[in-house]
Amino acid sequence: MRTEIRVNGVDHAVDVDTRTSLLDFLREHLDLKGSKKGCDHGQCGACTVLVNGVRINACLSLAVMHDGDHVTTIEGLASGEALHPLQQAFLTEDAFQCGYCTPGQICSAVGLMAEIAAGQPSEATADLNAKVVLTDAEIRERMSGNLCRCSAYPQILAAVRRAAGAAA
Amino acid sequence: MKPFAFERARNVDHALSLAAAAPGARFLAGGTNLLDLMKLEIEQPDTLIDVGRLPLADISETAGGGLRIGALATNSVVASDPRIRSRYPVLARAILSGASVQLRNKASMGGNLMQRTRCSYFMDPAMPCNKRLPGSGCSAMGGLSQATALFGASEFCAAVSASDMSVALAVLDAEVETVRADGSVRRRPVETLHRLPGDAPQVDTDLAPDELILAVELPPPPSGGQVWRKVRARASYIGALASVAVAGDRVALGAVAARPWRARATEAALAGGAAPSEAAEAELASASGEVGRKSLVRRLASDAIQESRKGGRS
């Protein structure tokens, strides 16, 4: 089915099988292998990408659902040789071991920063009517859709805290 | 995944005419539950009608002092809306306790309600399940499921609604507005959108195949505190073992039936002056299932009622 998608600033007009997930479209059709297939059921977060600036699981979406959308993957975050602040923070804090979940973690954290800037609450927010303060408990809750089987959670928390502190 | 045709609905009428013309079609919004089930071939629609771009995402004030939430408002948008947070905190809290941010960013109001009622055996095609394959038997009876129905189960099925959001909507007396291809518009309480399993557990709701959810309407919030409590096996991102929503003198229980379960016996006992623990027990008197889980629900409901009387938590 004819579908037009902009990925990392590049327009693509393609004819895809309706069954193609957004994740498989990115990986197999565009050869953007940064987004990872972990569980393929929305449970691990390794496939997290940004669609129109909002983080979603690319495995639980069909490419044909994204006609006209703007998708950003891990490959689209850096500006030339300058890493995105979250990419740099993950390096600085050593926030990965095997690295398989890392692209999804970083895209998820980019979405998290936008959600905080927009004042969106989470389950960890004590007062729904007050300004959201990005505590460690908030970061942990908001990143709970991304699993890390190497269990680099303390370092991931530190990386998000570092990037968020720099942005605040 | 089985092959299927994909139709992009241009407007509501187009979506409805497509549905009327294709009896095996399903409406597709965020897709977070339907596509998951299609990958497992538990769902095998021959046509998907993508309604995701229809203009049904607004949240607006109603003349009666309530809020009308469009069927395509995402779970994240609804939980973040200042009017929901200040006037219906039990709804914001219930939504925020469900799934992950990635899923809530995609899941819609209507889609959350239409997610399949399920248990772990429904999700496992290797096991018998009357809901997935009518007549094949129920593996949950005497099985290992942790969250089976305490209320309204039949000998054929004990699966529960997995929607946290619907429990809060039920306690707030919310109504679902739908439209069919013949133009008929209907409203029903969220509480009765889902049917109890009976001898046809494969049918989750009483919606017709060509019936599309347009909006959910909230009446003005009742006076009194609002409380949401959810118990689960880990700190985040897993379904409830039990949940409870309290709004004023109303109480609803979650993950205990095929629909969000208004605890009418509890509400009647509270109106008669019973203590919260006695009122909670009044509902559990008609429950089936194991003692431990009934005890969990009783204590959870009692605690939530007591907390609501202290004004709840915004």
Chain A residue with Cα closest to B90:
A128
Q: In chain B, where are the structural domains located?
A: 5-50
**Under an 8 A CB cutoff, do A18 and B3 touch?**
yes
Instruction: Find chain B residues with C-beta within 8 A of A40's C-beta.
Output: 39
How far B35 CA lies from chain A's nearest CA (Å)? 6
| Domain A2-76 and domain A85-167 have a common topology | no
How far A106 CA lies from chain B's nearest CA (Å)? 13
How far B179 CA lies from chain A's nearest CA (Å)? 23
pLDDT of residue B118: 95
What is the C-alpha to C-alpha distance for residues B13 and A164, in angstroms, rounded to an integer?
45
pLDDT of residue B187: 98
Q: In chain A, where are the structural domains located?
A: 2-76, 85-167
Over residues B147-171, mean pLDDT = 96
Three-state secondary structure call for residue B91: helix
Of the candidates A42, A111, A128, the beta carbon closest to that of B89 is on: A128
Token pair, residue B129, equals 């399940």
B77-111 pLDDT, tens digit per residue, is: 999 999 999 999 999 999 999 999 999 999 999 99
Of the candidates A48, A57, A129, the beta carbon closest to that of B85 is on: A129
B190-201 pLDDT, tens digit per residue, is: 999 999 999 999
Q: Which of A43, A56, A105 to mutate to test the interface with B (most CBs of B within 10 A)?
A: A56
pLDDT of residue B202: 98
CATH topology classification for A85-167:
DNA polymerase; domain 1 (1.10.150)
A76-108 pLDDT, tens digit per residue, is: 999 999 999 999 999 999 999 999 999 999 999
Going by pLDDT thresholds of 50, 70 and 90, the confidence category of residue B313 is: low
Query: Which residues have a Cβ under 8 Å from the Cβ of B227 and sit 6 or more positions away?
Result: B90, B244, B245, B246, B304, B305, B307, B308, B312, B313
Question: So what's the ipTM on this one?
Answer: 0.97
How far B48 CA lies from chain A's nearest CA (Å)? 10
Over residues A135-146, mean pLDDT = 97
Q: Does B238 touch chain A (CB under 8 A)?
A: no
Choose among B253, B243, B232, B227: nearest CA to B305: B227
Over residues B267-279, mean pLDDT = 98
A32-71 pLDDT, tens digit per residue, is: 999 999 999 999 999 999 999 999 999 999 999 999 999 9
CATH architecture group of domain A2-76 = Roll (3.10)
Per-residue pLDDT at B141 exceeds 80: yes
CATH topology classification for B5-50:
3.30.43
pLDDT of residue B289: 87
A106-134 pLDDT, tens digit per residue, is: 999 999 999 999 999 999 999 999 999 99
Chain B residue with Cα closest to A146:
B100
